[in-house]
Amino acid sequence: MKSVVVRFAGDSGDGMQIVGERFTDTSVTVPNAIATFPDYPAEIRALIGTIAGGSAFQVHFGSVTVLTPGDALDSLVGGWMNWSAE
């Protein structure tokens, strides 16, 4: 593949922004072109007992020129810690 689009997604406060930034930092150590799109929720942290907002960080990197964060995902990495319905 000449370029790859990866999105890290999870609940607000799960650290998806940090994971995306670390992935970006690692990707640029190799001669890659890169574009990022951090997707912050409307609320930084939801109130206790409410549904948290979603947070994501999308990275488009590759050995060719990369001009946008990407339209179609090649990989989705979920970071939701609690999958049970309450």
Domain annotation covers residue 49: yes
Q: Are 46 and 52 in contact (CB under 8 A)?
A: yes
* Three-class DSSP category at 58: strand
- What is the C-alpha separation between 46 and 44, in angstroms, rounded? 7
pTM, full prediction: 0.76
Q: What pLDDT is recorded for position 45?
A: 60
Q: What pLDDT is recorded for position 39?
A: 85
Residue 85 is encoded by which pair of tokens?
């319905």
* Three-class DSSP category at 20: helix
Q: How many domains are contained in the chain? A: 1
The tens-digit pLDDT sequence of the chain (86 residues) is: 799 999 998 877 778 888 899 999 988 888 889 999 988 776 666 556 556 667 889 999 999 999 999 989 999 998 766 555 55
Structural domain range at position 30:
3-78
DSSP-assigned beta bridge partners for residue 54: 11
Domain annotation covers residue 85: no
Domain annotation covers residue 83: no
- What is the C-alpha separation between 49 and 82, in angstroms, rounded? 13
Domain annotation covers residue 30: yes
Domain annotation covers residue 52: yes
Domain annotation covers residue 24: yes
